[in-house]
Chains A and B, each alone.
Chain A
Amino acid sequence: MTTLILNRRKLLAAGGSVLAVGASGLLLPANAQGFAATESMSGGANNYHAHKGAPIVERIGKGGFVMSGTVRRAGDGMPLSGQRIQIWAHTVEGREEDRRSHGATLTDKNGAFRLEMPQIIPIFGQPHGHLAYDSGEFKTVFLRPIMRSAKDTSLEAHFVLQPA
């Protein structure tokens, strides 16, 4: 019985992963199907609200780890420049809820962002980061990407935003 439940959960998880991979596939420019809006991830907003509006910084702490990604408009996939993305994680320099773990950056003219931050360390059983688009013009999105390995020194997250 336990095995059955386990298998079903794993199947659900695998199905979820396939959906997630499929959704991120939509972000590739080569995909001509149009750009579906990114949904907030479960747990993505955790430890955000006390530090909402963290300052735009050159890098968070001493750096050493790269968080990067893109911000596009839903539908036509047009890159959105000047969009503020807030980033935080449990790192070698602090916990998610610490002010010093939070920082923000703006997308460039290609809709890309890149922010150096301290090395992410697994917390709550998974090495993961948090990103937020929460500026009002588009619908708020919280992402919680997971690193393939805790030893990775970079992580990507992509936003496709729809009007608020």
Chain B
Amino acid sequence: MAPARIALIWAVLAAAICLPMALAATSPYLEWRDAIYITACFAGIVALGLLLIQPLLIAGLLPGLSAFRARRVHHWIGGALVVAIIVHVAGLWITSPPDMLDALLFRSPTLFSPFGVVAMWAIFATALLALFRRQLGLRTWRITHMSLAVVIVGGSVVHGMLIEGTMETMSKAALCALVIAATIKVTVDLWPRKKRVMRPTESS
């Protein structure tokens, strides 16, 4: 791949993730939020950004990384996603315990809450299953992981788009569109089509 093309891909990825964060950092609402609430908000934004990197990594679409390295980074970012979601939920819990409790118990008045909570459980389930992926078998693991990934992305995008918060609308929509596009492409490309023995290079 031409160096210019490699640079372009990384630049677009960096912009898609960093621009929404930079614009959120200029939100007027921040003035009236304390450090814990702001941290919780940005943990959510970071998590949304990580959702764009994950499918690109595992499908080998990010140039300059070996398949082995990309897979390792995918695992680490998966762990980072879990941490980001815990920070997000814990920060919101501290900010307003009854509102967070309503969301977790699926009795919140806001439509976006259940989408976020479902995505959260799907992320936790994925992380837990990832620890036992060898016992699951590659095909089962892939189908389970990719199904959960679709739930995570669908839930997170709806959650994010319905929220009226610190994120700027256009950059948020662009990031969400890219996350969806990457997820669809990678899910279609990597979905196991028939029962077969995977090549050793595909095993994790």
Contacts and interface: CB of A to CB of B under 8 A. Distances in A.
B110 interface: yes
Contacts of B164: 122, 125-127, 150
B150 A2 contact: yes
Interface string B147-176: 000110010001000111100000000000
Contact of B102 (A5, A43, A122): A43
Nearest to A125: B163
Contacts of A42: 102, 107-109
Contact of B112 (A123, A125, A127, A144): A125
B150 A96 contact: no
B151 A2 contact: yes
B32 A43 contact: no
A78 interface: no
Interface stretch (B10-18, B46-54, B91-99, B123-131): B91-99
Interface string A1-42: 010011001100100000000000000000000000000011
Contacts of A121: 29, 32
A156 to B, nearest CB: 17
B99 A43 contact: yes
Interface residues of B, number: 27
Contacts of A97: 96
A150 B158 CA distance: 20
A95 interface: yes
A151 to B, nearest CB: 11
B109 A41 contact: yes
B71 to A, nearest CB: 26
A124 B114 CA distance: 13
B99 A122 contact: no
Interface in A78-105: 90-92, 95-97
B165 A125 contact: yes
A52 to B, nearest CB: 14
Contacts of A123: 95-96, 99
A124 B29 contact: no
B35 interface: no
Contacts of B112: 125
A47 interface: yes
A29 B96 CA distance: 37
B111 interface: yes
A159 B166 CA distance: 32
Contact of B111 (A9, A44, A144): A9
A46 B150 contact: no
Nearest to B165: A125
Nearest to A3: B154
A42 B98 CA distance: 11
A74 B96 CA distance: 33
Contacts of B158: 6
B110 A46 contact: no
Given A6-B158, A44-B109, A95-B96, 17 more contacts: A9-B115, A43-B98, A43-B108, A45-B98, A46-B96, A46-B98, A47-B98, A91-B32, A92-B31, A95-B95, A96-B96, A97-B96, A123-B99, A124-B96, A124-B99, A125-B162, A126-B110
- The 6 tightest CB contacts between A and B, nearest first, are A2-B154, A125-B163, A46-B98, A42-B109, A43-B109, A124-B99
Interface of A: 2, 5-6, 9-10, 13, 41-47, 90-92, 95-97, 121-127, 144, 150
